[in-house]
Structure 1
Amino acid sequence: MSITREPRRPVGRPAAATRDEVLAAARRAFIEGRRIEVRAIAAEFGASRATMYRWFGSREGLLAEVILGEMAALFDRADANTSSRGAARVLDSLDTVNRWLIDSPPLRAFLAAEPTGLQVMTSSSGLVHPGVVRIAAAYLERVAAEDDFRPPIEITTLAYAMVRLGEAFVHDDSPAGMRHEIGRLREVHSALLGLAR
Structure 2
Amino acid sequence: MPSDLDRRRAIDTAASMYLAEEPLDMSALAERLGVGRATLYRWVGNREELLATVLSEATERTYRKAITQASGEGPAYILDIFARVMRSVEASAELRALTRREPIVFVKLAMMPGPIESISSAITAEILQAQVDAGTLTIALSPQVLGNALVRICDVHLYAPLLGRENAEIETALDLIALLLGVIRT
1:1-197 equivalence runs, <5 A:
18-114=6-102, 115-124=104-113, 126-145=114-133, 149-173=137-161, 174=163, 177=165, 179-196=167-184
On the 8 A contact 2:159/2:168 being kept in 1, the answer is yes
Q: Which structure 2 residue ranges, 5 or more long, are not aligned?
A: none
Structure richer in helix, relative to its length: 2
How many angstroms does 1:127 deviate by? Answer: 4.0
- Label 1:138 to 1:42 Cα distance change in 2 as closer, same or farther (>3 A): farther
Deviation at 1:21, TM superposition (A): 1.6
When normalised by structure 2's length, the TM-score is 0.84
Structure 1 residues 53, 97: CA separation in 2 closer, same or farther (over 3 Å shift)?
same
Q: CA RMSD in A?
A: 2.3
Kept after mapping to 2: 8 A contact 1:168/1:178: no
Q: CA deviation at 1:47?
A: 2.2
Change over 3 Å in CA distance of 1:88–1:164 after alignment to 2: same
- The answer to which of 66-75 and 157-166 deviates more is 157-166
What is the distance in 2 between the residues matched to 1:38 and 1:95? 34
Cα deviation code 1:39-65 (max 9, x no counterpart): 211111122323322232211111111
- Gaps (5+ residues) in structure 1? 1-16
Q: Is the 8 A contact 2:21 2:94 kept in 1?
A: yes
Tell me the secondary structure at the aligned position of residue 39 of structure 2.
helix
Shift of 1:121: 1.7
In structure 2, what is the Cα distance between the partners aligned to 1:113 and 1:155? 35
Q: Look up the equivalent residue of 1:77 and give its one-letter code.
A: K
**1:143 CA displacement:** 4.2
Report the Cα offset of residue 27 of structure 1.
0.9
Q: Which structure has the bigger radius of gyration?
A: 1
Secondary structure of residue in 1 paired with 2:140: coil
